[in-house]
Structure 1
Amino acid sequence: MNHPADIAALAAFDDLPSGRLAARQIELPPPPAAVGSYQPWSRYGDLVTTSFQLPFKNGSLRYAGRLGETLTVEDGIAAARLCALNGLAQLAQATGSIDRVRLIRLDGHVGCVAGFDAMPEVLDAASELLHEALGRRGLHARTALGHHVMPLDAPVMLGFFAQILDDERSGT
């Protein structure tokens, strides 16, 4: 469903994201604060983009290090899921309600050693959580890149680009 005329049909096919999250006992964390001179998200018309989300939990970086060196693929998967939750929290804050979010693009970056080739597997964990939380509204395009150096030594960072649905289209 990439055509704007199809967006109105999303509410008819999906439960609202808030209901999907509650049914799966997924609770969004408070949106993490910026760690530098930038905003956690920016809105332009009906579009919103986030700064890259790191695996913060309760105000501290939960995972640090490079995959294939000090961290395992399983650590990367857990970090990616945490980044996805933080991104959803930012989008909910930016739009006023998670029920108004339609994800368009996810930019995924993995901190890893040379030769590490499981970036898609790590980032699939985030994509799957986003689809689980948002239903059809969570289907997205994605970038998957590996880096030797990441901010704060984070193993994963995710950037989000989403559309804000108006009240009529979101079902609220």
Structure 2
Amino acid sequence: MHLAESETSSSSPESRLLAAGLSLPKAAAAVANYEPCVITGNMLYTSGQLPWIDGQLKFKGKIGKDLTPEQGYEACKLSTLNAIAQLKSALGELSRVIRIVRLEGVLNVAPGFTEHAKALNGASDLINQIFGAAGAHTRMIYSNPEMPLDCASLVVLWTEINHAEGGQYLPS
């Protein structure tokens, strides 16, 4: 979903989240020995973000077997909301995002399921809605026969950022 240029230039990503009736969850801590996100130069990379709500996986299982394609779309959307929460945590303000450069999605799909692109549109649609023109991104879809914690989706964002408005992320 693309917003008209006039809509995106007059409002912040945070205000577009509110207008969409969404709120960011608390950025999830790492579940193993890694950083949830890293900034190098003018790029911020998130680690894979799962479809969490309050520390619990909302979407588990294989899309096309345990979950419908529509639930796969929602799983990707929720994973992306968690990725955006990582951006907000690291940057302070989502207006520091210059561009979402790349979206990578890893999906837990049943044999024979071929609607990967439609499921990952849950992520792309949210990115475009929240970031407008700055959300225009490349993307890659992977599928995996077994996923961490049997999650339905995992989303990674590569994000170009503006350092002028704040400091650099330092892991706590």
TM-score bracket, normalised by the shorter chain, equals 0.7 to 0.9
The match for 1:41 among 37, 44, 51 is 37
1:80 and 1:157 in contact (8 A); partners too: yes
Query: Secondary structure at the residue paired with 2:119?
Result: helix
1:14 and 1:136 in contact (8 A); partners too: no
Matched letter for residue 88 of structure 1 = I
For these two proteins, the number of residue pairs brought into alignment is 157
Q: Deviations over 1:120-159 (max 9, x none)?
A: 0000111001110111111100001222111111111100
1:109 aligned to 2:89?
Answer: no
CA RMSD after TM alignment: 1.5
Query: CA–CA distance in 2 between the matches of 1:110 and 1:87?
Result: 15
Query: CA–CA distance in 2 between the matches of 1:167 and 1:131?
Result: 24
Query: CA–CA distance in 2 between the matches of 1:94 and 1:45?
Result: 14
TM-score (norm 2): 0.86
Query: CA–CA distance in 1 between the matches of 2:103 and 2:150?
Result: 20
1:14 and 1:135 in contact (8 A); partners too: no
1:63 aligned to 2:59?
Answer: yes
Q: CA deviation at 1:68?
A: 1.6
Query: CA–CA distance in 2 between the matches of 1:14 and 1:138?
Result: 15
**2:146 counterpart residue number:** 149
**2:159 counterpart residue number:** 162
**1:128 counterpart residue number:** 125
Q: CA deviation at 1:62?
A: 1.0
Gap runs ≥5 in structure 1:
1-11
- The structure with the largest helix share of the pair is 1
Query: Secondary structure at the residue paired with 1:69?
Result: coil
Q: Deviations over 1:48-77 (max 9, x none)?
A: 000000001011111111112211111111
Query: CA–CA distance in 2 between the matches of 1:161 and 1:94?
Result: 13
Query: CA–CA distance in 2 between the matches of 1:45 and 1:116?
Result: 39
TM-score (norm 1): 0.86
1:28 aligned to 2:40?
Answer: no
Query: CA–CA distance in 1 between the matches of 2:113 and 2:133?
Result: 31
Query: Secondary structure at the residue paired with 1:109?
Result: strand
Q: CA deviation at 1:31?
A: 0.7
Query: CA–CA distance in 1 between the matches of 2:103 and 2:10?
Result: 20
Gap runs ≥5 in structure 2:
1-7, 166-172
Q: CA deviation at 1:23?
A: 2.2
Query: Secondary structure at the residue paired with 2:102?
Result: strand
2:101 and 2:158 in contact (8 A); partners too: yes
* Percent of paired sites with the same residue: 36
